A and B are shown apart, each in its own frame.
Chain A
Amino acid sequence: MATTTHEAAGHAADAAAAAPGMPQLDFSTWGNQIFWLIVTLVVIYLILSRVALPRVGSVLADRAGAIANDIAAAEDLKQKAKEAEAAYDKALADARVEAANIVAATKAEIQADLAEATARADAEISAKVAEGEKAIAEIRAGALEAAEVVAKDAAAEIVAAFGFTAAPDAIDSAVTEKLKG
């Protein structure tokens, strides 16, 4: 190391002699620097142009492609979502129309059933009314007959109460005559 420092100091002195304080102007080192710089630049150029730049370029291109693909896919999905929404809206509208149709049909059906049932009920009611009237007439007829029997019985009792005896036929005919009266 001692020789190195001596050497360096000597060079510094040389440089100082040539141009005070400017090692840059010590031309004895220029050849060395230029040679090694050319070597350095060639090495850097070869490494960059053969290995690094194609690699970085392909990575960037790959990423740009991936991003473009993703954007396209997103656009596609958006389109699909729009279509699905339209289909959904259409289905909803169709369902509404159908529901309205069903409601109307059902209403008409119910109306028809109701009319039929009403008619049937009316017929039944009138039949029942007729039956009832017939029964009432019968009852009324029965009642007249019963009244005649009661009247004849009552007349026979009354006659007996007055102490007479009368033939039942005579009482019957008399009561029948009075009732007709």
Chain B
Amino acid sequence: MATEAAHGGEEGGLVFHPMDQFIVKPLFGGEGVHWYTITNATLWMALTVLAIVALMVLGTSGRNRIPSRMQSVAEMAYGFIYKMVEDVAGKDAIRFFPYIFTLFMFIVTANLLGLVPTAFTVTSHFAATILLALSVFLTVTVLGFVLHGKQFLGLFWVSSAPLAVRPLLALIEVISYFVRPVSHSIRLAGNMMAGHAVIKVFAGFAAIAAVSPISIVAIAGMYGLELLVAFIQAYVFTILTCVYLKDALHPAH
């Protein structure tokens, strides 16, 4: 808030600072941001943990055969991801279900919490999404080599294609394989960042009396869209993780 006022003071008139909401700052003051500093990002990660505990642990504490509302949401999330892992990655991928469920719950909860006004969106930062994507990438690659050894490289050697084009295809496959974590992470952070920035821009227009009704309606519309995006991006991230996992478990084309 104070930051925006300072910016406004410099330039005056109609100013947009749609990116200020993404600034990571220490929560309790102090000298800069060290690795251990408790920042607004830390706060919202903690709130994400609390929200997940509330849903998955407190919500299911009744263990009811006929579920309460919270329990039925928790069960729905469980069933949704369980089925996704089973359908996309195969039955033998079920042992990775807790990891994938952790990823999904973290991303979807952080995305939705980011939509609370004045919230900090953890998943709008490349630092966070690159960590997530790299952990998936490294896990999948290591797992592929541990399970299949050299045969895992068969993933890049398209044996169903004519021999002449195989080297070319292998090159393309290798490139696409290493681009995976990049697209995987930038897709999520980019979507979250763009939606929040657009809402901020509309909010900036609301300062002009003549267009403020339009801008408020636009914010409401964008907000609905963002709710959808928050869920869809978590879904996309998770299902791609399952697809990559399937490559590691069954590298044959």
Chain A contacts to B: CB under 8 angstroms: 1, 3-5, 7-9, 11-12, 15, 21-26, 28-41, 43-45, 47-49, 51-53, 55-60, 62-63, 66
Report how far A38 CA is from B78 CA in the complex, Å.
Answer: 22
Query: Chain B residues with Cβ under 8 A from A7's Cβ?
Result: 25-26, 29-32
Contact across chains for B98 and A29 when beta carbons are under 8 A apart: no
CB-contacts of B78-129 with A (<8 A): 78-79, 97-99, 101-102, 105-106, 122, 124-128
Whether B245 is near chain A, meaning CB under 8 Å from some CB there, is no
Interface majority SS on B: helix, strand, loop or mixed?
helix
Nearest Cβ in chain B — how far from A90, in angstroms? Answer: 41
Report how far A21 CA is from B3 CA in the complex, Å.
Answer: 13
Chain B contacts to A: CB under 8 angstroms: 2-3, 6, 19-20, 22-26, 29-37, 39, 41-42, 45-46, 48-49, 52-53, 56-57, 60, 63-65, 67, 71, 74-75, 78-79, 97-99, 101-102, 105-106, 122, 124-128, 131-132, 189, 193
Interface majority SS on A: helix, strand, loop or mixed?
helix
Contact across chains for A52 and B126 when beta carbons are under 8 A apart: no
- Which partner residue on chain A sits nearest B31 by CB separation? A7
Report how far A62 CA is from B19 CA in the complex, Å.
Answer: 49
Contact across chains for B23 and A33 when beta carbons are under 8 A apart: no
Number of A-B contacts defined by CB within 8 Å? 159
Contact across chains for A52 and B57 when beta carbons are under 8 A apart: yes
Assuming the contacts A4-B25, A22-B19, asked whether A40 and B48 have C-beta atoms less than 8 A apart, the reply is yes
Query: Chain B residues with Cβ under 8 A from A36's Cβ?
Result: 39, 41-42, 45
Contact across chains for A24 and B41 when beta carbons are under 8 A apart: no
Contact across chains for B60 and A44 when beta carbons are under 8 A apart: no
Contact across chains for B189 and A24 when beta carbons are under 8 A apart: yes
